[in-house]
Amino acid sequence: MTLRITWDEASARRMERQFLAVPAKAGTPVADVVGAMLGAHAQVLSAAEVSVGVRADGVTRADVRAALWEDRSLVKTHGPRGTLHLLPSAELPLWTSALAAVPSPSPFRPDARLTDAQADEVVAAIGDALDGAPLTIDELSDEVVARTGPWAGDLVMPAFQGMWPRWRQVMHRAGQRGTLCLGPNRGRKVTYTRPPRFEPLDADEALSLLVRRHLRAYGPATAQQFAKWAAAPGGWALELFASLADAGDIEEVDFEGVPAWVVAGDTEFPGEPVRGVRLLPYFDAYAIGCRPREVLFPGAAYERALAGGQAGNYPVLLVDGVVAGVWHQRRQGRRTTVTVEPLGRLTASRERELARQVERVGEVLEAKPELVVGKVTAGGHA
């Protein structure tokens, strides 16, 4: 008989496993918290710091930055969907092997694209160039063109009202293959370097492990939902899940009337629904990875807290595991104003809990917070 899983059961387990039901104990390594999330989206580093901090007692942005730039237990690099993430350095063998095996059709017009051979040449050149001192993007561009040829520097990529050189269309691929990550800023300039050395996993082993890690954190999930999370072709994901099911690695369940998958044997779910108020920043892993999206963003939240159906563009207020508002923080010196826009009435106990969450956000950002309940006028993040 197929096991039936409700939204409340799935939501409670997802929040529990991502340290949103109960934060990780003080002293838990920052990399362990990031690993439980399957990476913290880090296009906006302060948002990644809040994502990690609200999941771990006592952690501040200084702890996240120390993990990045001092002990290097974290790296900032191109992760799922090609976007910048914080990833545990110890998990680079998994991430690089799995992401490199995900098919990624080029979005560029034929005359601008790199051939497969050229792409491999550029990735190798990036790794060689960064095997030493960190480089700015302009310094890296000069080194890549010098190691490959003038074709790599052709300005064929429209970007920010200008044009980028051809080689940059595979910059994310270099990150996903483990030859590039971000280094500490040089003044106001971003730098790039090589991540710590590692031995990659077998591609099939890595893909199997990534799917199982995803299902542990976000399951039950369908192959199509995994494909969206990984920016992978849907047909390819269906074949991958079918092969894992045949191997006995995953098993099918009924999730609110829809066939979905969990890791084989991983069928224990909390008996009580999740309760509580949480503030999640831009592009938080929970808001992006949990589906069905229309259940996570019910009613008015679907229009207010999404951007054309895309999650992450707005920081969100969670109440009992679903989106119930949006928020925004504006920092001035040592103070930050946190404006929260609930989409429904909050009880007195929920208001007190919200105030505590705002205090926690302030602690993470090392700022004195002020809570304002009202309309959020800031638009979504691009």
Residue pLDDT, tens place only, 185-201: 999 999 999 998 899 99
Residue pLDDT, tens place only, 230-266: 999 999 999 999 999 999 999 999 999 999 999 999 9
Please report, rounded to a whole number, the percentage of residues in the chain having pLDDT higher than 70.
Answer: 100
- pLDDT of 382 over the 80 cut: no
- CA angle 109/111/113 to nearest 5° reads 65
Domain map of the chain by residue range? 106-201, 203-263, 277-373
Protein fold of 277-373? Aminopeptidase (3.40.630)
- pLDDT of 369 over the 80 cut: yes
Contact between 291 and 297 under an 8 Å Cβ cutoff? The reply is no
CATH number of 203-263: 1.10.10
Tell me, yes or no, if the two domains 203-263 and 277-373 fold the same way: no
- Assigned CATH class of 106-201: mainly alpha
What pLDDT is stored for residue 160 in this prediction? 78
Q: Does pTM top 0.75 for this prediction?
A: yes
Burial grade of 243 (CB within 10 A; 0-12, 13-18, 19 or more)? middle
What's the pLDDT band for 381 if we cut at 50, 70, 90? confident
User: Which uninterrupted H or E stretch holds 337?
Assistant: strand 335-342
